[in-house]
Amino acid sequence: MLVFGLNEPGNLRIMATTFKDGDPSYAGALGGIALGLKSYHIFELKDEIPAEVWAREMAFKELEVEDALIEQICTIMREIRGD
């Protein structure tokens, strides 16, 4: 699986789609190649990470990135995975 730390919705959509269905522009190395890989953003995986590790590595990021953007990122990732 892929785990992203990118926060730009447009980039995330293209990359997650590419790893699942192949490059949507048919331009890159994965043009027409569907690997079927699932993509997650690290913000979605908080429940899986030990609390002390999350506090050290991610709490600052959670504070820094706007709540609305985190929600948008998580929605995009769920949509592309088809959850």
Partner 1 sequence: MRILKGHKVAIFGERDDVAGSAVRNCVLAAGAEVVYETTSCFV
Partner 2 sequence: MTDNPVIRNCAFCLVHTPDLVRFGSKPRRELEAEPSLADRLEGALRSYAAAVAYPPNQTFIGNLSPLQLGQIPKPWFAGQSPRNSAEASGPFGEIINQDLFYAALRQANVLQPPLVALTTEAAQKLAKLLAAHPVFGPLAQSAMAADPAGFQQEIDAGKALPLRTGGTLQGLVRGDNRSEGAGDINLDPHTLLEALTAKTTGALALRWLLHREQMQPDQVDYIISCGEEATGDRYQRGGGGVAKAIGEMCGCVNASGMDVKNFCAAPASALVTAGALIKAGLYERVAVVAGGSLAKLGMKSMAFLREGMPILDDSLGCIAFLVTRNDGASPVLRLDRGAVGKASIGASTSDQAIYEQLILKPLRALGLTMADVDRFAPELHNPEIMEFSGSGDVAHKNYRMIAATAVLAGEIDKAGMRAFTERIGMTGFAPTQGHIPSGVPYVGHALAAMQAGELSRAMFLCKASLFLNRLTSLFDGVSFLLESQKRQP
Q: Mask: binding to partner 2, 30-49, rule CB under 8 A, as x and -?
A: --------------------
57 counts as binding partner 1 under rule CB under 8 A: yes
| # chain residues binding partner 1, by CB under 8 A | 22
For residues 54-79, b (16+ Cβ closer than 10 Å) or e, as one string?
Answer: beeebeeeeeeeeeeebeebeebbee
- When asked if residue 1 is in the footprint of partner 1 (CB under 8 A), the reply is yes
CA 58 vs CA 17, 27, 47, 64: distances in Å: 25, 34, 12, 10
32 touching partner 1, by CB under 8 A: no
CA distance 78 to 64: 22
Q: Minimal distance in Å, beta carbon 43 to partner 1?
A: 8
By the criterion CB under 8 A, which residues form the site for partner 2? 7-8, 10-11, 56-57, 59-61, 63-66
